[in-house]
Chains A and B, each alone.
Chain A
Amino acid sequence: MNEKADIKATRTVTIRSRQGLHARPASLIARLSRSFDAKVYLVRDHDRVDATDVIHVLALGVMPDQVLRLEAIGAQAEEAADAVARLITEELPKIED
């Protein structure tokens, strides 16, 4: 993190995976979120969890068609938010197992 650490980006995404955010999607989100100079969070209602922590993502128990807010904070906040949003909306629906 650097002097741009207070940059914040948010996105709203709808879960289109037919089986919700199960283990593999949660792992892919965690892996991608770790690759940016930004903290990435998934927010549902009053729960806000670290997207790099698979256990916390699974604990949200996100079902198909539920809406999540993505928050990214840090120098690469915009890049992280775009990439994770794209993963969730475009790539995860192709994954069944």
Chain B
Amino acid sequence: MKFADFIARESISASLRAIDKEGAIREMVQALLDAGRIDAAQYESIVKAILKREELGSTGIGRGVAVPHTKHASVDQLVGTVAISSDGVDFASLDGEMVHVFFLLVSPMDRPGDHLRALENISRQLRNDTFCRFLKKAKNPAEIQQLLDEADNNQFGS
């Protein structure tokens, strides 16, 4: 699975403003709403579901990256967004580091395989230090999109 298969381009942000976990999640779900990828009536329900999942254990997976996510009956295909925070957000990550890179995912209830493949793709690319470093430094959505496209074209050798 490639980034292009699930990242909604119009929702990408290089300037996340939120300074806490809930704020960051709300801002990213709002970006998916603004991009027309989720239903406005489901906004609060999706935010709550993602926060509930975080209560089970942080999705901060290390190296300044988090993958907040949920399954939700209102989507019929996996949809995701990317956001970068220059100041970082305390996400209670396992390694204790602030999170600067977010991949937020909302998946259909009955497609666990797609969710796992998306996580696999994200993680494989993140193993590459160059991809990770450039992503954290991206100044605008176009730069992020370019990095995702390059990753999809195997230009980081993962």
Interface flag for B100 (CB, 8 Å): no
Q: Evaluate contact between B116 and A59: CB separation under 8 angstroms.
A: no
Minimum distance in angstroms from A6 CB to a CB of chain B: 27
Q: Evaluate contact between A61 and B117: CB separation under 8 angstroms.
A: yes
Q: Evaluate contact between A61 and B63: CB separation under 8 angstroms.
A: no
Q: Evaluate contact between A55 and B112: CB separation under 8 angstroms.
A: no
Interface flag for B11 (CB, 8 Å): no
Residues in chain B near residue A28, CB distance under 8 A = 57
Query: Which B residues contact A (CB, under 8 angstroms)?
Result: 53, 56-59, 61-63, 65, 67, 69, 71, 94, 112-113, 115-117, 119-120, 122-124, 126-127
Give the bracket for the number of chain A residues in contact with chain B.
20 to 34
Q: Evaluate contact between B62 and A53: CB separation under 8 angstroms.
A: yes
The answer, among B53, B56, B115, B120, for a CB contact under 8 Å with A59, is: B120
Interface flag for A80 (CB, 8 Å): no
Q: Evaluate contact between B61 and A61: CB separation under 8 angstroms.
A: no
Residues in chain A near residue B126, CB distance under 8 A = 55, 59
CA distance in complex: A21, B126 (Å): 17
Q: How many A-B residue pairs have CB under 8 A?
A: 63
Query: Which A residues contact B (CB, under 8 angstroms)?
Result: 18-24, 26-28, 30-31, 53-56, 58-61, 63, 97
Task: Tell me the nearest residue of chain A to B68, going by C-beta.
Answer: A23
Task: Tell me the nearest residue of chain B to A31, going by C-beta.
Answer: B94
Minimum distance in angstroms from B55 CB to a CB of chain A: 10
The answer, among A22, A27, A56, for a CB contact under 8 Å with B94, is: A27
Task: Tell me the nearest residue of chain A to B63, going by C-beta.
Answer: A55
Minimum distance in angstroms from A15 CB to a CB of chain B: 11
The answer, among B61, B71, B94, for a CB contact under 8 Å with A58, is: B61
